[in-house]
Amino acid sequence: MSERPDQRHRLRVGIDVGGTNTDAVVLDETDSVVATAKRPTSPDVTEGLRAALDAVLAELDDPSLVTRVMLGTTHATNAILERRALGRVAVLRLGLPATTSVPPLSDWPADLRDVVAAGTAIVRGGHFVDGRPIAPLDTDAVKRFLAEVGSAADAVAVAGVFSPGSADQEKQVAEIIRAELGDVAVSLSHEIGSLGLLERENATVLNAALYGVARDVTTALQDALDSRGLKVETFFAQNDGTLMAVDYAARYPVLTIGSGPANSLRGAAYLSGVEDAIVADVGGTSTDLGVLVGGFPRESAAAVEIGGVTTNFRMPDILSIALGGGTMVGAEPRSVGYRIGREALVFGGPTPTMTDAAVAAGRGTVGTHGVPDQWRDRLAEAVARADELVADAVDRVALGKADRPLIAVGGGALLLAGRIPGASEVIRPRHAEVANAVGAAIALASGRLETIVPTGNGGNARAALIEKAKEEAAARAVAAGADPASVQIVELSEIPLSYLPEPAVRLQVKAAGPLSR
Amino acid sequence: MQARISTDDVPALARGCAVLGTGGGGDVRAGGLAARRAILEYGEVPLVRLDELPEDALVLPLSGIGAPTVSHEMIHAEDEPVRIRDEIERIFGRPPAAVMSSEIGGGNGVAPVAWAARLGLPLLDADAMGRAFPEVQMVSMYVAGIPANIVIMSDVVGNVVTIRPVDGLWSEQIARAVCVASGSSALMADYVLTAGECRGAVIEGTVSRAIAIGRATDGAQDPLAALQDELGAVRLITGKLTDLDRRTTGGFVRGTVTIEGTGDDRGRTLGLEIQNENLVAVEDGRVRAMVPDLITVVDTQAATAIQTEGLRYGQRVTVLAWPCDPLWRTPKGLETAGPRAFGYDLDYLPVEKIAP
């Protein structure tokens, strides 16, 4: 490490690819923002990423001081929505003779299934809720399936019934796949999602389908960094507001989906210094509202649908409303998007937008032109409508607590009024327009685990199982890039299960820590 | 009534069953997926009225039982109903002529389409509850006095258990124990009965009603009004969910939901007592609807039913209530599934008397 620059001068770059803009920031060793840039997101994503990276590096005296790059990107989401660059996946469920009434991929849109499925099978295996096997794993059937479809598959997804409680069979299958097919990518459901077989299986298959996309984006980022002479470590932002090292992201690309809102929440917490708050991120076409609890995003309890596929991994609990800086007044919810710089009245364009309305209402000064008088009445009405939309959304996400501040971030944050019903105050931190990129740059690395723990006979056994779960979550955080010495358990929830013969809880553990030095 | 259930009917049936679930009855998603697949694989399912069946035709009431958490993970085996059918043929000397849903509310209202398709049997346009209830003895056959003298269970690995209990209480206890041994998931047939015995002992027309309820909101200008109209329901309140006090005791979820009126209902507050289902609605200390009448919370915009576990602060909801089947209003019906059966010290009053 001797060629590395002095620690005090080390810099890191955070990049967040959003629907409208790609933002980049540079932070120094004290986490102060030293440079920011905002560029339009390009259709291929990568071009906009390079542009934002170049713009922010151009502000530095010595770009070689950059040692780390953290990227939050929509590559994976776009690939699924557009059915593009997805790998072909052999889908193996362990559960026979159970589960046959709903085979794998039953609820997938036909076009996505055609693109992704290399073959599906259900073989004997899986577990009951109490850990007993449904059947011993049918290793011969696994091998037969691999022999049939292995050559057509880019990856294999494996989902066993109750594997979040009993993972041994999935691990055994992974070994068989390695022995039979060499180093083909394998996605195991107990590492991806929580209870709910169909949803976890779906997330696992999507994960397997995204390996190629993950490889492409990693390569594109690495090329961009190499061609600029940067020797850096790279990390990817995931949907809970934490980071994973690039080799970890390569194994769990599905976890990058939804990282944008999580980044903006974390960035808002950091820039404002407030850890419990409502965050409103106003973009070009929409405003995302979320809630910070102890500095982390509050998570959604509902199932998440991606490209028509229902999954169950945890995402920030985000309420999106169709209101952004580019929203066209009188043609809501349509937006001029990234064309705001030539469409909006304040830029001399022909289209009245919410940005014009905010300027006319005296909420900020933007652009090169004044707002023509003939628009003033309609713009005033638009601001009043927008304020109502925001107040209603704030009330919905606040869960009845009106004592928390609202942190206004994002490129369109000037739309938000100085006082909002349901919030104790409105905080506008410096660099709020790039909060999401800041969030990526300051994030911790984390690991999470979900399992079922019987709580009936003897408190000791339960305590030991919870301890084991904590250790496993911490190990996963370290695998994601966290410093082993400073990993902490940041979340531990026990949810009692109803209707079961033996008392049991669903245990969720999350560990997080700063990246290792 | 329509003659057959096709894949096009499944989403409407699922929406309708969710409405009739009155907050409980389990998720309709897996049942809907199984139904769709089974129709594609084995063909559309004829829907028959009770009077279309010969007097001595055997009717097979089926329901999935077990823990809701387990049902999200342990998907049913396709052949579970086949083993029950075979067992019935062994015992009764003839196969069943139709499948019936034991509980139209929730997932057990949708999944029977899959089971009937797999067996190549018609589905009887009837069920044993007309809604959802949490306990297996809360069925119309019990209220009608038909002895619970046989229960047949089939599990995911292929075990078949036939119980000949001395009464309904033992039936429940032994069935629970078997279910636990089978991993807290099983398919169950109780009260195997003839079409003749079904008369007056089942609630007729509930499958086509569920489909009609699901269809009512399709393309409607005002989905909520359309749903209310289809149900013949009283709108108890339209407002915002402002408090949710939920606790798990003895394996059952209990809670109180508070809904504050908005718009025309501003200034009013409705309290809803929930267990697995919505059970009692109270306003200003006055009960406005109670079990066994049906109380469902729907999204005010989309008019889709919200299950008790899906209730969240801030949701814009409307609470609808409408009369249960007359069978539940008999003394035996109220003893079985009236307010006192759920621990509420209330004398039952019909919703149409107390709600308006």
Interface of B with A in 7-46 (CB under 8 A): 29-30, 33-34, 36-38
pLDDT, mean of residues B243-247: 79
Contact A400 B313 (CB under 8 A): yes
Question: Does A195 contact B at CB distance below 8 Å?
Answer: yes
Residues B156 and B284 in one domain: no
Contact B33 A102 (CB under 8 A): yes
| A480 belongs to a structural domain | yes
What's the confidence (pLDDT) of residue A129? Answer: 87
Which band of pLDDT confidence, cut at 50, 70 and 90, is reported for residue A2?
very low
Question: Does A107 contact B at CB distance below 8 Å?
Answer: yes
pLDDT, mean of residues B50-71: 91
Residues from chain B that touch A195, judged by Cβ atoms under 8 A, are 69, 72-73
pLDDT, mean of residues A200-213: 95
Q: Which two tokens stand for residue B29?
A: 């998603």
Closest Cα partner for A242 from A427, A501, A490?
A490
Contact A101 B78 (CB under 8 A): yes
What's the confidence (pLDDT) of residue A108? Answer: 95
Contact A112, A83 (CB under 8 A): yes
What's the confidence (pLDDT) of residue A308? Answer: 86
Rounded Cα–Cα distance for residues A350 and A48 (Å): 26
Using only C-alpha atoms, chain B has a radius of gyration, in whole angstroms, of 19
Residues B258 and B342 in one domain: yes
The more confident residue out of B97 and B30 is B97
Q: Which amino acid is at A8?
A: R
- If residue A488 lies in a helix (H) or strand (E), which one and from where to where? strand A488-496
Residues B198 and B240 in one domain: no
B56 to chain A, closest Cα gap in Å: 31
Residues A387 and A240 in one domain: no
Residues B132 and B36 in one domain: yes
What's the confidence (pLDDT) of residue A497? Answer: 64
Residue A119 belongs to what domain range? Answer: 87-209
Strands (E), chain B: 4-5, 45-48, 58-66, 98-101, 123-127, 151-154, 160-163, 185-190, 193-194, 203-204, 234-249, 252-261, 269-274, 278-283, 286-290, 294-299, 316-322
Which pTM was predicted? 0.87
How many domains does chain B contain in total?
2
| B212 belongs to a structural domain | no
What separation in angstroms does the CA of A103 have from each of A203, A510, B203?
15, 31, 33
Rounded Cα–Cα distance for residues B56 and A168 (Å): 51
A318 to chain B, closest Cα gap in Å: 14
Is the pLDDT at B230 greater than 60, yes or no?
yes
Rounded Cα–Cα distance for residues A55 and A24 (Å): 8
End-of-domain residue from the set A227, A257, A273: A273
| A290 belongs to a structural domain | no
Is the pLDDT at A69 greater than 90, yes or no?
yes
| B213 belongs to a structural domain | no
A94 to chain B, closest Cα gap in Å: 11
A307 to chain B, closest Cα gap in Å: 18
Q: Which amino acid is at B282?
A: V
Residues A93 and A200 in one domain: yes
| A283 belongs to a structural domain | no
| B215 belongs to a structural domain | no
Average pLDDT, chain B: 93
State the count of interchain CB pairs (< 8 A) between A and B: 114
Is the pLDDT at A3 greater than 70, yes or no?
no
Which spans in A228-315 are helix H?
246-251, 259-272
| B258 belongs to a structural domain | yes
| B165 belongs to a structural domain | yes
Contact B184 A500 (CB under 8 A): yes
* Least confident window among A75-89, A164-178, A445-459: A445-459
What's the confidence (pLDDT) of residue A499? Answer: 56
Question: Does B242 contact A at CB distance below 8 Å?
Answer: yes
Query: Closest chain B residue to A500 measured between Cα atoms?
Result: B67
Q: Which two tokens stand for residue B268?
A: 């009013």
Question: Does A304 contact B at CB distance below 8 Å?
Answer: no
* Least confident window among A147-151, A298-302, A347-351, B114-118: A298-302
Contact B132, B105 (CB under 8 A): yes
Which band of pLDDT confidence, cut at 50, 70 and 90, is reported for residue B249?
low
Which band of pLDDT confidence, cut at 50, 70 and 90, is reported for residue A5?
very low
End-of-domain residue from the set A185, A209, A233: A209
Question: Does A108 contact B at CB distance below 8 Å?
Answer: no
| A296 belongs to a structural domain | no
Contact A129 B70 (CB under 8 A): yes
Residues B197 and B285 in one domain: no
Rounded Cα–Cα distance for residues A450 and A197 (Å): 14
Residues B179 and B279 in one domain: no
Closest Cα partner for A44 from A85, A86, A72, A15?
A85
Residues B184 and B293 in one domain: no
Rounded Cα–Cα distance for residues B124 and B99 (Å): 6
Rounded Cα–Cα distance for residues A439 and A24 (Å): 11
Rounded Cα–Cα distance for residues B186 and A234 (Å): 49
| A289 belongs to a structural domain | no
Query: Closest chain B residue to A194 measured between Cα atoms?
Result: B73
Q: Which of B27, B28, B73 to probe the A interface (max A CBs under 10 A)? A: B73
User: What ipTM, to 2 d.p.?
Assistant: 0.89
Residues B196 and B110 in one domain: yes
B248 to chain A, closest Cα gap in Å: 8
Which band of pLDDT confidence, cut at 50, 70 and 90, is reported for residue A284?
confident
How many domains does chain A contain in total?
4
Residues B293 and B334 in one domain: yes
Residues B202 and B122 in one domain: yes
Residues B95 and B188 in one domain: yes
Contact B314 A506 (CB under 8 A): no
Rounded Cα–Cα distance for residues B162 and B87 (Å): 8
Q: What is the pLDDT of residues B346-355, one digit of tens each?
A: 999 999 999 8
Query: Closest chain A residue to B180 measured between Cα atoms?
Result: A501
| Proportion of chain B above pLDDT 90, given as a percent | 78
Is the pLDDT at A392 greater than 50, yes or no?
yes
Q: Which two tokens stand for residue A65?
A: 């001081």
Residues A251 and A269 in one domain: yes
Question: Does A102 contact B at CB distance below 8 Å?
Answer: yes
Query: Closest chain B residue to A197 measured between Cα atoms?
Result: B73
| B67 belongs to a structural domain | yes
**What 3-state DSSP class applies to A54?**
helix
Question: Does A129 contact B at CB distance below 8 Å?
Answer: yes
* Least confident window among A18-22, A255-259, B345-349: A18-22
Question: Does B236 contact A at CB distance below 8 Å?
Answer: no
| A352 belongs to a structural domain | yes
Q: What is the pLDDT of residues A113-163, one digit of tens each?
A: 999 999 999 999 999 988 899 999 999 999 999 999 989 999 999 999 999
Contact A435, A18 (CB under 8 A): no
The more confident residue out of B24 and B230 is B230
End-of-domain residue from the set B206, B237, B258: B206
Q: Per DSSP, what are the bridge partners of residue B123? A: B47, B99
Residues from chain A that touch B114, judged by Cβ atoms under 8 A, are 101
What's the confidence (pLDDT) of residue A400? Answer: 65
The domain spanning residue B280 has which CATH number?
2.40.390
- If residue A37 lies in a helix (H) or strand (E), which one and from where to where? strand A33-40
Residues A94 and A183 in one domain: yes
Q: Which residue has the tokens 């364009």?
A: A349
Residue B92 belongs to what domain range? Answer: 4-206
* DSSP per-residue letters across A348-416: T-SB-BHHHHHHHTTS---SSSPPPGGGHHHHHHHHHHHHHHHHHHHHHHHTT---S-EEEESTTGGGS
Which band of pLDDT confidence, cut at 50, 70 and 90, is reported for residue A34?
very high
Contact B36 A499 (CB under 8 A): no
Rounded Cα–Cα distance for residues B249 and B254 (Å): 7
Q: What pairing do the DSSP bridges indicate for beta strands B252-261 and B269-274?
A: antiparallel
Residues A268 and A315 in one domain: no
Closest Cα partner for A56 from A73, A36, A71?
A36
Residues from chain B that touch A99, judged by Cβ atoms under 8 A, are 74-77, 156
Considering only the beta carbons, identify the residue of B252, B310, B314 that sits closest to A396: B314
Rounded Cα–Cα distance for residues A495 and A502 (Å): 14
End-of-domain residue from the set A209, A231, A251: A209
Query: Closest chain A residue to B71 measured between Cα atoms?
Result: A196
What's the confidence (pLDDT) of residue B253? Answer: 63
Residues A62 and A94 in one domain: no
Residues A23 and A96 in one domain: no
Q: Which two tokens stand for residue A487?
A: 């990993």
Question: Does B355 contact A at CB distance below 8 Å?
Answer: no
Question: Does A197 contact B at CB distance below 8 Å?
Answer: yes
Q: Which of A102, A107, A278 to probe the B interface (max B CBs under 10 A)? A: A102
Residues B261 and B193 in one domain: no
| A107 belongs to a structural domain | yes
Rounded Cα–Cα distance for residues A200 and A163 (Å): 10
Contact B159, B34 (CB under 8 A): no
Query: Closest chain B residue to A132 measured between Cα atoms?
Result: B183
What's the confidence (pLDDT) of residue A4? Answer: 45
The domain spanning residue B156 has which CATH number?
3.40.1610.10
Rounded Cα–Cα distance for residues A395 and A269 (Å): 20
CB atoms within 10 A of CB A463: 11
B115 to chain A, closest Cα gap in Å: 9
Closest Cα partner for B155 from B99, B76, B219?
B76
